[in-house]
């Protein structure tokens, strides 16, 4: 093989696509943007865009994220849990020759876990953006189109990418402290439990959950404050501790 010669390899376009997840009103939601151009004009799609010539992949993902949502990724490049800051990590790369009808595009998908935000901000190019429950985007389960939520089909292979991202999030909160990335900087044990319940779609025993998370060293750090924002007896407030790997892991009940 001779040294790199333009004739040796076909040129590719490289993009980043973002699976941005949050928990809103006890449901796992993903950020979707409306496409303004063909193909799939008017369809919902994942946010994303081209990687620039001088840009790292994680850097491109962080830039797209802030352009689309105003969110700042806490640490592009490495998985770092941080309550109140968005977590960003690489998800997988999609390169089917037919995934874009116009040209050869390889997309490096990234996964973002964000706390609940006031409202999504549409990009500068006037496309609209919304948080949609993942089940309505994936056609998953019986509630796929309930409550006036429209079941939609995402553009390109974005349905597959979203499904992979959701699966990654579901399994990762099991053995890491990443669930705190869905929470505000200070949160209660009950709020953290509702995150697990929304992401997994199951009910957890509040008493055993409380014992488990407070008993796992490094997971939660009490701030000393309390809150009654959920009603009932005042609850202690916590910040995310430094631990990233949970040992033993949280146990996801059988489905």
Partner DNA sequence: GCAAAAGTGTTAAAGCTACACCCATGA
Partner DNA sequence: TCATGGGTGTAGCTTTAACACTTTTGC
Q: How far is the CB of 89 from DNA (least distance, A)?
A: 25
Measured distance CA(91)–CA(179) in Å, rounded: 17
Measured distance CA(233)–CA(238) in Å, rounded: 16
Kindly state whether residue 202 participates in binding a copy of itself, applying the rule CB under 8 A. no
Report how many residues bind DNA under the rule CB under 7 A.
Answer: 24
Closest C-alpha to 121, from 65, 174, 169: 65
Give, as ranges, the residues between 29 and 48 that touch a copy of itself (CB under 8 A): 36-38
Kindly state whether residue 182 participates in binding DNA, applying the rule CB under 7 A. no
What burial letters (b/e) apply to 52-87, b meaning 16+ CB within 10 Å? eeeeebbbbbbbbbeebbebebbbbeebbbbbbbbb
In total, the chain counts a number of residues equal to 255
209 neighbors 196 (Cβ within 8 angstroms): yes
Instruction: Give the interface segment with a copy of itself, choosing from 87-95, 145-153, 183-191, 219-227 (CB under 8 A).
Output: 87-95
Instruction: Give the interface segment with a copy of itself, choosing from 100-108, 114-122, 153-161, 221-229 (CB under 8 A).
Output: 100-108
Per-residue x/- mask for DNA, residues 183 to 202, rule CB under 7 A? -----xxxx-----------
Give whichever of 124 and 231 is closer to DNA, judged by the CB atom.
231
Kindly state whether residue 167 participates in binding a copy of itself, applying the rule CB under 8 A. no
Kindly state whether residue 236 participates in binding DNA, applying the rule CB under 7 A. yes
Kindly state whether residue 215 participates in binding a copy of itself, applying the rule CB under 8 A. no
Measured distance CA(146)–CA(123) in Å, rounded: 28
Closest C-alpha to 231, from 188, 202, 182, 193: 188
- DSSP state letter for 124: T
Can you give the binding site for DNA, defined by CB under 7 A?
188-191, 205-208, 210-212, 214, 226, 228, 230-236, 248, 251, 253
């Amino acid at each position: 093989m001779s040294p790199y010669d333009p004739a040796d390899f076909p040129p590719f376009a490289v993009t980043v696509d973002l699976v941005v997840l949050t928990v809103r009103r006890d449901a796992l939601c993903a950020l979707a943007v409306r496409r303004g151009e063909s193909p799939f004009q008017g369809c919902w799609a994942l946010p994303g865009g081209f990687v620039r010539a001088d840009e790292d992949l994680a850097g491109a993902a962080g830039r797209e994220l802030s352009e689309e949502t105003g969110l700042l990724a806490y640490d592009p490049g490495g998985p770092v849990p941080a309550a109140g800051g968005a977590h960003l990590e690489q998800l997988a790369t999609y390169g089917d020759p037919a995934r874009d009808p116009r040209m050869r595009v390889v997309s490096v998908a990234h996964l973002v876990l964000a706390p609940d935000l006031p409202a999504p901000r549409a990009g500068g190019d006037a496309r609209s953006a919304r948080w949609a429950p993942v089940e309505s985007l994936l056609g998953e389960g019986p509630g796929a189109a309930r409550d006036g939520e429209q079941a939609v089909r995402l553009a390109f292979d974005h349905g597959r990418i979203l499904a992979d991202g959701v699966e990654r999030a579901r399994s990762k909160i099991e053995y890491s402290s990443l669930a705190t990335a869905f929470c505000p900087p200070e949160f209660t044990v009950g709020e953290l439990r509702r995150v697990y319940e929304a992401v997994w779609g199951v009910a957890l025993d509040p008493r055993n959950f409380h014992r488990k998370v407070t008993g796992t060293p490094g997971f939660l750090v009490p701030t000393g404050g309390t809150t009654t924002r959920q009603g009932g007896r005042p609850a202690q407030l916590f910040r995310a501790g430094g631990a990233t790997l949970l040992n033993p892991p949280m146990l996801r009940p059988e489905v």
